[in-house]
Amino acid sequence: MTKYKILIADDDESIRKIIMKYFQMNEFIVLAVKNGEEAVTVEEEYKPDFVILDAEMPVMNGFEACKIIREKRKGIDYIPIIFLSGLLTEGIVIKGLEAGADDYVRKPFEPLELLTRVKNLLKMKDFITKVDLVENMFLTLLKSIEARDFYTSRHSLNVSNYSTRIGKELNFSKNEIEILYKGSLLHDIGKIGIYDKILNKPGKLTAEEFTHIKEHPGKGEEICKIIRMDPQILEIIRLHHEKLDGTGYPDGLKENEIGKLIRIITVADIFDALTTDRPYRLSKSKEQAMAILKQEAEEDKLDKSIVDCVSSTFNA
């Protein structure tokens, strides 16, 4: 089990000892100092997971120390901070919150109450850290696409724009729109693993080359599994080339086996591919692209309601 590192700053030695003993008994690493100035120095050197500050201390009080610690972290690497005070007036509480405190505990306090509040805030810290990690990895993947292939990067942005607009027109939830946004931005991430000479080939692909191209949904899914991407996003990455009649790839799914979000991105993907220049052909007009989409909808390859939405939304 990971041991959390707690910093306690209080000018009362007896309180420092109580907190140190109780938290050490509960498997925490405890750093203890007697004023705010020492707290700022120790926080910078040891980067604790949590800070407990007495509001009133000599040399530098808890409010000043809290402001400095928050400023140093500059909104990143979130650290929870609790104030201890014997006088929890409205003015003191507001002053502490303005300084950046997350919670207050009144003196004298029960060690169990303090421990419970600390544990709850640490859960929030862990959640925020995971969210930040996923977002950073997400941005890294997008940069990887852009560095690898400019067309794929631009195409992914277009598909994301089309997909989210379709989702809004069809009254999808805010969460579903977010999944559409992220899934479409990463739908072609697997092309990182496809040879340049195939991606940028000016002529028709051979059967062997097309087989290699068809590996990109699976490759993309594997890349994003490593960072534990949302399962719905993984589905979009893997299944965005599936068709309702079972002629798509990589799994040959049919009808209800293909979710609505995937159907949207499939249509948006084809629409953008048709209306932009490719190495092997010039772009088609919106009217020509829509004719192809409508034909595939008539053949039960694409969702007709989504194709109709594209036609009305983009005036195609």
- CATH number of 20's domain: 3.40.50.2300
Residue 306, token pair as written in the block: 């989504």
Query: 241 and 125, same structural domain?
Result: no
Query: 271 and 235, same structural domain?
Result: yes
Query: 158 and 123, same structural domain?
Result: no
pLDDT tens, 220-265? 898 888 666 788 999 999 999 999 999 999 999 999 999 999 999 9
Highest mean pLDDT (candidates 92-101, 133-142, 288-297): 288-297
Average pLDDT over residues 203-221: 87
Does residue 309 contact residue 166 with C-beta atoms inside 8 Å?
Answer: yes
Of 62, 95, 130, which residue sits at a domain end? Answer: 130
Higher pLDDT, 284 or 141: 284
Query: 120 and 156, same structural domain?
Result: no
Query: 275 and 153, same structural domain?
Result: yes
Domain assignment of residue 141, yes or no? no
Number of domains forming the structure of the chain: 2
Query: 205 and 178, same structural domain?
Result: yes
Query: 39 and 79, same structural domain?
Result: yes
Exposure string over 160-169, b if 16+ CB within 10 A, otherwise e: bebbbbbbee
Average pLDDT over residues 140-169: 78
Nearest to 225 by CA among 261, 189, 179, 262: 189
Query: 201 and 79, same structural domain?
Result: no
Query: 111 and 22, same structural domain?
Result: yes
Query: In sequence order, which residues have a C-beta less than 8 Å from that of residue 304 and are 6 or more positions away?
Result: 297, 298
Average pLDDT over residues 201-208: 82
Nearest-angstrom CA–CA distance, 120 and 131: 17
Phi/psi for 214 (5° steps) reads -70, -5
* CA 164 to chain CA mean position, Å: 17
Query: In sequence order, which residues have a C-beta less than 8 Å from that of residue 209 and are 6 or more positions away?
Result: 198, 201
Domain assignment of residue 135, yes or no? no
What kind and span of H or E run contains 244?
A: none
3-state secondary structure (DSSP) of residue 89: coil
Domain assignment of residue 137, yes or no? no
Query: 293 and 173, same structural domain?
Result: yes
Domain assignment of residue 142, yes or no? no
Structural domain of residue 197, as residue ranges?
149-313
Nearest-angstrom CA–CA distance, 163 and 17: 58
Domain assignment of residue 144, yes or no? no
Domain assignment of residue 228, yes or no? yes
Nearest-angstrom CA–CA distance, 290 and 272: 11
Query: 113 and 261, same structural domain?
Result: no
Per-residue pLDDT, 242: 97
Query: 245 and 185, same structural domain?
Result: yes
Domain assignment of residue 114, yes or no? yes
Instruction: Among 14-28, 29-43, 69-83, name the one with the lowest average pLDDT.
Output: 69-83
